[in-house]
Chain A
Amino acid sequence: MDRVQKAKTVLWSIVALAASVGTARLLFGLGATTNLSDTTPWGFWIGFDVMGGVALAAGGFVTTAFFYIFKREDFHPLVRPAVLTAFLGYVAVIIGLLFDLGLPWNIWHMIVFWNPHSPLFEVGWCVMLYTTVLLLEFSPVPLEETSRYARMRSLLLKLRLPLVILGIALSTLHQSSLGSLFLIMPFRLHPLWYSPILPVQFFVSAVALGMMMVAFESVVSHWLYRRSPATELIGKLAKAVVWVLGVYLLIRVIDIVASSELGLVFSGSRESVLFIIELLISTIIPLVLFSIPVWRRQSRWQAVGSGLVVFGMVMNRIDVGGLTMLSATGGSYIPSWTELSISFGIVAAAGLVFLFAVERLHVWEKRPQDEQSQQFAMPRFDVISSVWLGNPGMASRVKYSLSFILVFSLGVAFLPWEKIQSKGVPQVEALRARGGDTLVVDGNLDGYGVAFAHDKHVETTGGKDKCVVCHHMNLPGDKQSGCYQCHGQMYTSQDAFRHDWHADPNGAKLACVQCHTPGDERNAKSAKQCKDCHSDLIPAGAAVVVDNYYAPPYADAMHRLCVTCHQQKATEIEGKQALAQCASCHGTLSGQNVLAADAPVTWPSSEGSVFLPSQKLTRSHKK
Chain B
Amino acid sequence: MEALLDFAREPLFRFCFAVMVLGLLRVLVLDLINLRQAYRRAGDKSVPWKRTIVKSLEWFVPVKRVFNNRPLYSLFSILFHVGLLLVPIFLVAHVRLWPQVVSDWWPALPKFWSDMMAITTIIFALLLLLGRWLSRASSALSRKQDYLWPVLLLIPFVTGLICAQTSVNPKGYQISMLLHVLSGNLIFILIPFTKIAHCVLMPMSQFVAAIAWKFPPETDEAVCATLNKKGAKV
Residues from chain B with a CB closer than 8 A to the CB of A600 are none
Residues from chain A with a CB closer than 8 A to the CB of B18 are 20, 405, 408-409, 412-413
Main DSSP-derived SS at the B contact region: helix
B-side interface size class: 20 to 34
Say yes or no: B166 contacts A513, CB within 8 Å: yes
B11 CB → nearest A CB, Å: 4
Say yes or no: A405 contacts B26, CB within 8 Å: yes
B92 CB → nearest A CB, Å: 5
A370-397 residues with Cβ-Cβ distance < 8 A to B are 385, 391, 394, 397
B39 CB → nearest A CB, Å: 14
Say yes or no: B26 contacts A521, CB within 8 Å: no
A414 CB → nearest B CB, Å: 6
A394, A406, A413, A415: residue with the most chain B Cβ atoms closer than 10 Å: A413
A13 CB → nearest B CB, Å: 13
A464-502 residues with Cβ-Cβ distance < 8 A to B are none
A582 beta carbon closer than 8 Å to chain B? no
Residues from chain B with a CB closer than 8 A to the CB of A503 are 170
Tell me the total A-B contact number using a CB cutoff of 8 A.
59
B216 CB → nearest A CB, Å: 14
B10, B96, B166: residue with the most chain A Cβ atoms closer than 10 Å: B166
Say yes or no: B15 contacts A410, CB within 8 Å: yes
Question: In the complex, A413 Cα to B18 Cα: how many Å?
Answer: 8
Say yes or no: B93 contacts A398, CB within 8 Å: no
Spot the interface stretch: B30-38, B80-88, B117-125, B200-208: B30-38
B14 beta carbon closer than 8 Å to chain A? yes
Which single residue of chain A is at the shortest CB-CB distance from B34?
A: A394
Question: In the complex, A385 Cα to B23 Cα: how many Å?
Answer: 13
A391 CB → nearest B CB, Å: 7
Interface size, chain A (Cβ < 8 Å): 29
Question: In the complex, A391 Cα to B93 Cα: how many Å?
Answer: 45
B66 beta carbon closer than 8 Å to chain A? no
Task: Pick the residue among A397, A408, A516, A521 that contacts B111 (CB under 8 A).
Answer: A521
Which single residue of chain B is at the shortest CB-CB distance from A421?
A: B99
A407-424 residues with Cβ-Cβ distance < 8 A to B are 408-410, 412-415, 417
Task: Pick the residue among B11, B14, B19 that contacts A405 (CB under 8 A).
Answer: B19
A68 CB → nearest B CB, Å: 42
Say yes or no: B23 contacts A520, CB within 8 Å: no
Residues from chain B with a CB closer than 8 A to the CB of A414 are 11
A-B contact pairs, 27 of them (CB 8 A): A20-B18, A385-B193, A391-B34, A391-B37, A394-B30, A394-B34, A394-B37, A397-B30, A397-B33, A401-B26, A401-B29, A401-B30, A405-B22, A405-B23, A406-B19, A408-B18, A408-B22, A409-B14, A412-B18, A413-B14, A513-B166, A518-B167, A519-B166, A520-B111, A521-B92, A521-B93, A521-B111
Q: Which positions in A face B, CB cutoff 8 Å?
A: 20, 385, 391, 394, 397-398, 401-402, 404-406, 408-410, 412-415, 417, 503, 512-513, 516, 518-523
Q: What 8 A-B pairs come out closest when comparing CB atoms?
A: A413-B15, A409-B18, A405-B22, A413-B11, A412-B18, A413-B14, A409-B19, A518-B166
Q: A394-B34, A401-B30, A522-B166 are in contact. List 13 more A-B contacts (CB 8 A).
A: A20-B18, A397-B30, A397-B33, A398-B30, A401-B26, A405-B18, A406-B19, A409-B19, A412-B14, A412-B18, A413-B15, A413-B18, A518-B166
